[in-house]
Structure 1
Amino acid sequence: MLSPKRVKWRKQFVGRATGFAVRGANLDFGDYGLQAVEEGRLTARQLEAGRIAISRSVKRGGKIWCRVFPNIPVTKKPAETRMGSGKGNPELWVARVLPGKVLFEMNGVTREQAKEAFERAAHKLPFKTRFLVRE
C-alpha cells in the first residue's frame, strides 16, 4: 500500500476539508477520469482496491494514472485503553479529497471499457464520483 517514505512529523492534527479542489481538478494525462463529487478521506487500502479494480476490469490494458497520494497519518489508540496518556500511534495513511479532485485517469481503452472500469472502482470508494471524458 502507498505511504510516504519519510515524514517530518509522525502525528498530524485532524484538520478540516473545506471548499473545492483547485489543483488536480482537470484531466491532465488520460482521456477518461474519475472525479470526486463529495469530500472525504481516502485510505491507502481504498485507493489500492480501486486501482486493482480498474486494472482487472480492463485486463491490464491501457495506462492508468493515480492522481492522489495518502500523505496524512491517522492515529488510533489501542482497544480498552483509558482516556488520557497522549495521542495514539499512527495506524493508517489517508488522502484528503475535496470535491472536484480527479482520482484516477485512463488512456488507451474505449469509452465503454473506461466507464465500466471506473464504475467498479467507484464502488470501492467512500464518496460519490463521476465519470469524465476529455473534450
Structure 2
Amino acid sequence: MLFPKKTKYRKAHKGRIKGYNLSNFKLNNGSFGLKALEPGRITARQIEACRRAIVRKMKRTGKVWINIFPDLPVSSKPAEVRMGKGKGALNYWCCRVKPGKVLFEIDGVADFIAKDALRLGSAKLCIRTKITTLF
C-alpha cells in the first residue's frame, strides 16, 4: 500500500475540503481518466483496490497513471476508551480530493475496455466519479 517514507509531523489535523480543484483537472498522460465529482478522503486501501480492478480488467496491457497519493495520516482511538489521554494512534493514510481532480488515467487499450475498467475502478472508491476522455 501507498504511504510516505517520511513526514514532518507524525499526526495531522482533520482539516476541511472546500472549493474546486484548480490544477490537474485535464488529462495529462492518458486518453481516458477518472474524475472526482465530490470532495472526500480516499484511503490508501481504496486507491490500491481501484488500481487492481483497473489493471485486472485491462489484462495488464496499456498503462495506468495514479495522480493521487495518500499523504494525510488519520488517527483514531479504540472503542470504549474515555476522553482525554491524548490523540489516538495512527490508523491509516488517506488523501484529500476536491471535485474536478483526475484520479486515474489510462492509455493503450481500446475505448470500451478503458471505460469498463474505469467503471469497475470507480466502484471501489467512496466518492462519485465520472469517466473523461481526451477527445
- TM range, normalised to the smaller chain? over 0.9
> Which residues of 2 match residues 88-127 of structure 1 at below 5 A?
88-127=88-127
Percent identical pairs in the alignment equals 48
Counterpart code for 2:18: T
RMSD: 0.6
Q: Secondary structure at the match of 1:96?
A: strand
Gaps of 5+ in 2: none
**Count of matched residue pairs:** 135
Counterpart code for 1:42: I
> Which whole-Å CA distance do the structure 2 matches of 1:79 and 1:18 have between them?
30
Q: Deviations over 1:95-133 (max 9, x none)?
A: 100000000000100110110000000110101100111
Gaps of 5+ in 1: none
Match in the other structure for 1:59: 59
TM-score under structure 2 length normalisation: 0.98
Match in the other structure for 2:72: 72
Q: Secondary structure at the match of 1:60?
A: coil
> Which whole-Å CA distance do the structure 2 matches of 1:8 and 1:23 have between them?
24
Q: Deviations over 1:58-109 (max 9, x none)?
A: 1011000000000000001122211111111111000100000000000100
> Which whole-Å CA distance do the structure 2 matches of 1:44 and 1:20 have between them?
22
Runs of 4+ in 1 over 6 A off after TM superposition: none
Counterpart code for 1:28: N
TM-score under structure 1 length normalisation: 0.98
Match in the other structure for 2:81: 81
